[in-house]
């Protein structure tokens, strides 16, 4: 059974999108993932370079291997926060469950080979910053398209802390810089949503 698309109004999609952490194991149609990645490709980017690539991880053995490989980094990060071992074990189990239960994982990678080249450091660094910003826009397009299609996702930043491990596990090119892991599927339950800041807080100046 295919998911039912949600209301097409942009405002409803923007405010309805939610970050889901618990997924059912129902299959996700391939064409919906492809359409969401296509939507990601329409995000703005520096000089039209489109500095992003996506890796789709669907096979259970690959998802399990990824969870296994990332668990050591997760544990080390939580230990740095002086988390109790019981808390660490519980949070690790939840993260692993998300990767193993979501039927599809999409890895968003920064791809810098097509950027403009400059002789000075300031513009080189600005070019990379613009690429990272545009990758965020591409991920947002993906998340909105997934939600509008009747599915759910979330944004996991864990790849930022172990890019080499992810590249090695998935046998990816060194040109791909993992930035975000996006589990996709059907929400097992409605997530608790954090309140949004008011316009008075968001707008700090207007003349």
Task: Give strand pairing partners of 30.
Answer: none
Confidence at residue 83, expressed as pLDDT on a 0 to 100 scale: 80
C-beta of residue 149 within 8 angstroms of C-beta of residue 36 = yes
Structure tokens at 179: 């930035």
Check whether 7 has a pLDDT greater than 80: no
HSE of 42 in the Cβ direction (CA atoms, 13 Å)?
Answer: 8
HSE of 21 in the Cβ direction (CA atoms, 13 Å)?
Answer: 10
Location of structure tokens 């080499």 = 164
Confidence at residue 49, expressed as pLDDT on a 0 to 100 scale: 96
Closest CA to 165 of 54, 65, 59, 88: 65
Structure tokens at 99: 């990767």
C-beta of residue 188 within 8 angstroms of C-beta of residue 22 = yes
Domains contained in the chain, CATH given: 17-188 (3.40.109.10)
Structure tokens at 23: 């997924």
Confidence of residue 78 (pLDDT cuts 50, 70, 90): confident
User: What contacts 117, CB < 8 A, 6 or more positions away?
Assistant: 124
C-beta of residue 15 within 8 angstroms of C-beta of residue 195 = no
Confidence at residue 77, expressed as pLDDT on a 0 to 100 scale: 82
More confident residue, 8 or 87: 87
> pLDDT per residue over 102-161, tens digit each?
999 999 999 999 999 999 999 999 999 999 999 999 999 999 999 999 999 999 999 999
pTM for this one?
0.93
Check whether 79 has a pLDDT greater than 90: no
State the DSSP string of 51-68.
-EEEEEE-SHHHHHHHHH
Q: How far apart are CA 23 and CA 20, in angstroms?
A: 7
pLDDT averaged over the chain? 94
């Amino acid at each position: 059974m295919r998911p039912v698309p949600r209301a097409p109004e942009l405002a409803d999609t923007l405010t309805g999108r939610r970050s889901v952490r618990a997924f059912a194991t129902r299959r996700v149609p391939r064409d919906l993932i492809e359409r969401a990645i296509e939507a990601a490709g329409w995000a703005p980017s520096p000089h039209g370079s489109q500095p992003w690539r996506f890796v789709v991880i669907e096979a259970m053995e690959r998802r399990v291997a990824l969870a296994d490989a990332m668990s050591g980094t997760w544990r080390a990060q939580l230990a740095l926060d002086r988390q109790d071992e019981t808390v660490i074990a519980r949070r690790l189990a939840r993260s692993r469950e998300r990767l193993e239960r979501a039927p599809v994982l999409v890895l968003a990678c920064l791809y810098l080979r097509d950027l403009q080249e400059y002789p000075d450091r300031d513009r080189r660094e600005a070019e990379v910053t613009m690429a990272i910003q545009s990758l965020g826009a591409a991920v947002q397009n993906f998340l909105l398209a997934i939600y509008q299609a009747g599915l759910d996702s979330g944004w996991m930043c864990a790849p930022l802390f172990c890019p080499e491990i992810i590249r090695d596990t998935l046998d990816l090119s060194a040109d791909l810089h993992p930035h975000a892991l996006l589990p996709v599927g059907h929400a097992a339950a409605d997530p608790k949503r954090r309140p949004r800041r008011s316009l008075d807080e968001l707008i700090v100046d207007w003349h």
